[in-house]
Structure 1
Amino acid sequence: MDSQIHKIHQQLANKEITCTSLVQEKLDLLKQNTNNTVNSLLDTLALSLAAKVDAKIKKGETIGLLEGIPFGIKDVYMLQGTTATASSNLLKNYKSAYTATAIQKLLDAGAIPLAKENCDSFGHGSSSENTIFGAVKNAINPDLVGGGSSGGSAVNVAKDYTVFSIGGDTGGSVRQPAGYNHVYGLKPTYGRISRFGLMAYASSTDCVGPIAKSVEDIRIVLNVMSGKDIKDQTTYASAEINEDSILTSTEIKTVGYFKNFIESEAINPEIKTEFLATIEKIKAKGIVVKELDFFKSDILVSTYYTLAMAETASNLSRLDGSNYGNRIEDKSLKESYAITRSENFSEETKRRIVGGNQVLSQGFSDEIYLKGLALRDSISESFEKDFKEVDVILSPVTPNTPPKIGNSLKDPHAMYLSDAYTVGFSLGQLPTLTIPQGTETGLQITAAKNNDELVLKFANFLKDTI
C-alpha cells in the first residue's frame, strides 16, 4: 500500500535518514510556504522530540510505527504550552493549559507535531478565509480557496509539508478541504475519537478527523486516536482496524447514491458527469447500485445550520474576556463583555452567534430549534432504512469546484450551500471518508454507524477500480 508512514518508518529504522533531518526539512518547507497554512511553528518542540527518536535508534532500540512521523494540528486543539488561537483575535495570545486527548495519544505513539494550522475561525466557514492569518490558498491552484474549515491541514498534507494532519469535522470541515486539495479526509463515527481538548463548535456533530495521502495512513492514525475517554462521555470503545482487513471488500455487494443530489440544479455538470461515470465502473465490477431518496439539500443545510448555530452560540458564550481571551475594558462590566466580543469575533462568527441566539430565544425555539431536532431524528431514521438496503453510500463531496479567494466572503449563503452534500452525514453521526478520485473534488464514502472499517475497505476497492 502507498503509505508514507510505513515508508518513513522503514527509512528511520534502517538509518537511511535521521529524524532530525526529516523534521528540519518539513519545518523549512512550512516556513517558506506561500499557501498561508501555518498559524504557529512548533520548531523547538519538534526538534527536541526528533533528537530523542534519533537517540533511541542510535542505541538500537525498536521504534513504533508512528515514532518520528511529523504531523500538523488544526489550530482548534489544545497542546499544552503552545498557542491555541482558533484563528481568532479573541484567542490570538491564548496558551493551552493542557493537551487534547487525541493529540496526546499521537504524542504517546511518538508522532511529532510541527505546526498549528490555519483554519476558519472557530471552524466557522467552508473556505478557510475567515481567519486573522489570511486566507489559506489551495494546494493545486493558489487563486482558489483551500476549503474549510480545516484548510491549512489539508493543504499541508497535499503539499507534503506534513505526513498527516489532524483536522476537525463538524459539517464537512475535514472532507470538503480534503476534496478541494485531492487528499483523503475522514470524519469517523461520532464518539469514536474523544473531543476533549477540541474547541467546541457544535458539540453534537464535532469529530476529530485525520487527513493523509493514503487509506493506510488514515487507518493507522485512526487506530491510535480511537477509544473511550472518561473526559468525553460521548466516546465508546472500538475495535482496532487491521491492515489486512481493509484490503478485501467482498462483503460489499450493494452501493447506494442519493438521486436528488445528482439531479439537483445546483450541481456542476462536470461533477455530475464524472460521478455517473464512476457509478458505471462500479456496476461493471458486479456490484448492485441503487438510487436512494433523501431529504432535499436545502432542508439538510437549514437543519444543520439551525442546530450548529444554536450550539455554537451556547459554546462561545464563555468567551467574554473574563477567564481567557483578549479582553477590552469599557465603562461597565456589561459594556466590556459587549465590546470584547464585538471587536474580537469575526463577522462570520458573530453571524452564527446571533443566528443561534435567535433560534434559541422565546418565541422561536419551538418553531425553529425543536423542528430542527425533529428533522435530525428523521434524517437518522432515513439512514437506518437506507443501510438495510445498501452496504455503503457514495456521493460527491461538493456540488461545485473550489471558488476563487474572496467570493465566499461576499456570499455567505453560497458558502453554506457548498456544505449541501456533507452536512447530512454529520447530522446522522456516520463515518464518511473523502477520497481524491471520481470527481474534481473527490467522492464521499459513507457507512452505517461504527462501520468505519467498511468505509476504508471500499476506499481501497475504488482506488483500483476508478
Structure 2
Amino acid sequence: MESQIHKIHQQLVSKEISCTKLVQERLDLLKSNTHNTVNSLLDTLALDLAAKVDVKIAGGQEIGLLEGIPFGIKDVYMVQGTLTTASSDLLKKYKSPYTATAIQKLLDTGAIPLVKENCDSFGHGSSSENTIFGAVKNAINTDLVSGGSSGGSAVNVAKDFTVFSIGGDTGGSVRQPAGYNKIYGLKPTYGRISRFGLMAYASSTDCVGPIAKSIEDIRIVLNVMSGKDIKDQTTYQSKAISEQNILNADEIKTVGYFKNFIETDAIDAKVKADFLSAIGKIKAKGIEVKELDFFESDTLVSTYYTLAMAETASNLSRLDGTNYGNRIEGVNLKDTYSITRSENFSEETKRRIVGGNQVLSQGFSDEIYLKGLNLRDQISENFEKDFKEVDIILSPVTPNSPPKIGDSLKDPLAMYLSDAYTVGFSLGQLPTLTVPQGTETGLQITAAKNNDELVLKFANFLKDTI
C-alpha cells in the first residue's frame, strides 16, 4: 500500500538519507513556509532525537517503523517543556508541565515531533482564522481558508512539511480541514485514543485524530495511539488494525446516505452532482445503496453548538490568570478575572463562553441544555437503527467549497453551518474518515461505533472506485 512512513523508513534503513538531514529539510520548509502553519518549532528537540536515530542505524541496530519519522502536533496538546498556546493570547507563554498520552505513545516509538501547529484558538472555529498567529492559508489556494480548527496540521501534511500530524476533532476539526486540503483525516470512535493532555473543548465529543496522505499512514498512527489509559476513564482497549485486514472490502454490502443532506438548497450544486456521481460508481460495483432519513442540518448544528458551548464554558472557567495564563491585574480580584478573560480570549471564544453560560443558566437549562441532551440521545438511537440497515454511511464533508479568508469572520453563523455534515457523527461518537475523493472537499466515511477498521476498508475500496 502507498505509505510515506514505509517509504521513509526504507530510506533510513538503507542509509539513502540520514535522519538528521531528513529532519533538517522539513524544519527548513516549516521555517520558510508562508501558510502560517507554525506556532513554534521544536527544532532543538527534533535534531537531538534525529542524531540518536542516526547513531542506532550506524551501529547496525534495528529501528522501528515510526522511528525517525517527522510529525506535527496541533498546538492544543501538552508536550513537556514546550510552549502550548492553543493559539491564544491567554496561553501564549504557557509551557507544558507534562506530555499528552497520545503524543507520548508516538514519542515512545521514536517518531520525531517538529512543530506545534497553528489552529483556531482553543479549537473554536472552522477556518483556522481565529488565532493570534494569523490565518492559516489553504495548501492549494492561498486565498482560501485552510479549514479548522486543525488547519495548520492539515496544511503541513498537504505541503509535505510533516509526514503526518495529530489534530483534534470535536465537531469536524480534523475532517473538514483534511477535506479542504485534499488529504486523509480520521476522527476515531470516541474513547479509542486517550484525551489526556489535550486541552478540552467539548469533553463529550473531543477526539484525537491523525492526518496523513495515505490510508496506510492513518492506520499505522491510529494503532500506536489507541488503547486504554488510566488517566482517561472514557478510553477502552481496542484491537490493532492490520494492513491485510483493510485490503478487502467484500464484507461491505450496503452503503447509505442521508437524503436530506443532498436534497437541500444549502448544498452547492457541484458538490451535490459530484456526490451523486460517486454514489453511481459505488452502485456500479454491485453495492446496494440506500437513502436514509436523518435530522435536519439546522437541528444537528443547533444541538452540537448548544452542548459544545456549554461544555467549553465549563472547561475554560479554570482559565482566569490565577494558576496559569497571561494575568492582567485589575483594581480587585473580580476585576482581575474580568479583564484577564476579556482581553485574552478571542471574540469567538468569548461568544462560545457567553452562549454556554446562557444555556446552563437557571431558567434556560431545562428549556435548552436538557433538550440538547435529549436530542443527542435521539441522534445516537437513529444511528443504531441505520447501522442495522447499512454497513457504511457516506456523506459530503461540507455542503460548500472553502470560503475566502476573511469571509467566515464576518459571518459566524455561516461558519457554524459549514459544520452541518460533520457534527452529527461527532454527537454519535462514531468513527469517521475524510477521503480526498468524490467532491471538491472530499467524502466522509462513517461506520458504527468501534468499527474503525471498516471505515479504512471502505476508504481503500473508494480509492480504486472513484
Structure 1 length as normaliser, TM-score?
1.00
Partner of 2:4: 4
Query: Within the alignment, does 1:392 sit opposite 2:392 as a pair?
Result: yes
Partner of 1:239: 239
Amino acid at match of 2:431: P
Partner of 1:84: 84
Distance in 2 separating the partners of 1:136 and 1:222 = 25
Partner of 2:298: 298
Structure 1 residue 288: deviation in Å? 0.1
Partner of 1:460: 460
Partner of 1:317: 317
Distance in 1 separating the partners of 2:287 and 2:12 = 41
Distance in 2 separating the partners of 1:196 and 1:452 = 21
Amino acid at match of 2:234: T
Structure 1 residue 308: deviation in Å? 0.0
Query: Within the alignment, does 1:192 sit opposite 2:230 as a pair?
Result: no
Q: Pairwise mapping of residues 88-167 of structure 1 onto structure 2 (< 5 A)?
A: 88-167=88-167
Q: Pairwise mapping of residues 16-415 of structure 1 onto structure 2 (< 5 A)?
A: 16-415=16-415
Amino acid at match of 2:416: Y
Distance in 1 separating the partners of 2:167 and 2:109 = 18
Distance in 2 separating the partners of 1:36 and 1:335 = 35
Partner of 1:13: 13
What is the DSSP-based 3-state SS (H/G/I as helix, E as strand, rest coil) of the residue aligned with 1:116? Answer: strand
| Cα deviation 1:1-25 (Å, max 9, x = unaligned) | 1100000000001111000000000
Structure 1 residue 239: deviation in Å? 0.1
Structure 2: tracts of 5 or more residues without a match: none
Distance in 2 separating the partners of 1:426 and 1:464 = 27
Structure 1: tracts of 5 or more residues without a match: none
What is the DSSP-based 3-state SS (H/G/I as helix, E as strand, rest coil) of the residue aligned with 2:167? Answer: strand
Distance in 2 separating the partners of 1:193 and 1:109 = 16
Amino acid at match of 1:258: F
Q: How many residues align?
A: 466
Amino acid at match of 1:228: K
Structure 1 residue 136: deviation in Å? 0.1
What is the DSSP-based 3-state SS (H/G/I as helix, E as strand, rest coil) of the residue aligned with 2:39? Answer: strand
Amino acid at match of 1:200: A
Distance in 2 separating the partners of 1:60 and 1:117 = 34
Amino acid at match of 1:33: N
Structure 1 residue 83: deviation in Å? 0.3
What is the DSSP-based 3-state SS (H/G/I as helix, E as strand, rest coil) of the residue aligned with 1:336? Answer: helix
Query: Within the alignment, does 1:439 sit opposite 2:417 as a pair?
Result: no
What is the DSSP-based 3-state SS (H/G/I as helix, E as strand, rest coil) of the residue aligned with 1:72? Answer: strand
Distance in 1 separating the partners of 2:39 and 2:402 = 22
Structure 1 residue 224: deviation in Å? 0.1
Structure 1 vs Structure 2: percent identity of aligned residues?
86
Amino acid at match of 1:349: T
Distance in 2 separating the partners of 1:30 and 1:449 = 37
Structure 1 residue 289: deviation in Å? 0.2
Distance in 1 separating the partners of 2:255 and 2:306 = 30
Distance in 2 separating the partners of 1:4 and 1:282 = 28
Distance in 2 separating the partners of 1:154 and 1:2 = 19
Distance in 1 separating the partners of 2:389 and 2:21 = 52
Distance in 2 separating the partners of 1:315 and 1:280 = 45
Structure 1 residue 457: deviation in Å? 0.1
Distance in 1 separating the partners of 2:111 and 2:270 = 40
What is the DSSP-based 3-state SS (H/G/I as helix, E as strand, rest coil) of the residue aligned with 1:300? Answer: helix
Structure 2 length as normaliser, TM-score?
1.00
Distance in 2 separating the partners of 1:53 and 1:273 = 49
What is the DSSP-based 3-state SS (H/G/I as helix, E as strand, rest coil) of the residue aligned with 2:114? Answer: strand
Structure 1 residue 337: deviation in Å? 0.2
Distance in 2 separating the partners of 1:369 and 1:54 = 55
Distance in 2 separating the partners of 1:265 and 1:251 = 35
Amino acid at match of 1:249: A
What is the DSSP-based 3-state SS (H/G/I as helix, E as strand, rest coil) of the residue aligned with 1:338? Answer: helix
Distance in 2 separating the partners of 1:174 and 1:223 = 17
Distance in 1 separating the partners of 2:138 and 2:75 = 18
Distance in 1 separating the partners of 2:439 and 2:400 = 10
Structure 1 residue 264: deviation in Å? 1.1
Partner of 2:426: 426
Distance in 2 separating the partners of 1:287 and 1:154 = 31
Distance in 1 separating the partners of 2:272 and 2:6 = 36
| Cα deviation 1:63-83 (Å, max 9, x = unaligned) | 000000000000000000000
Amino acid at match of 1:159: K
Distance in 2 separating the partners of 1:37 and 1:146 = 10
Distance in 2 separating the partners of 1:181 and 1:401 = 11
Distance in 1 separating the partners of 2:243 and 2:70 = 21
Structure 1 residue 218: deviation in Å? 0.1
Structure 1 residue 313: deviation in Å? 0.1
| Cα deviation 1:138-163 (Å, max 9, x = unaligned) | 00000000000000000000000000
| Cα deviation 1:426-458 (Å, max 9, x = unaligned) | 000000000000000000000000000000000
Amino acid at match of 1:272: K
What is the DSSP-based 3-state SS (H/G/I as helix, E as strand, rest coil) of the residue aligned with 2:289? Answer: strand
Structure 1 residue 404: deviation in Å? 0.2
Amino acid at match of 1:72: G
Dislocated runs of 4+, deviation >3 Å: none
Amino acid at match of 2:198: L
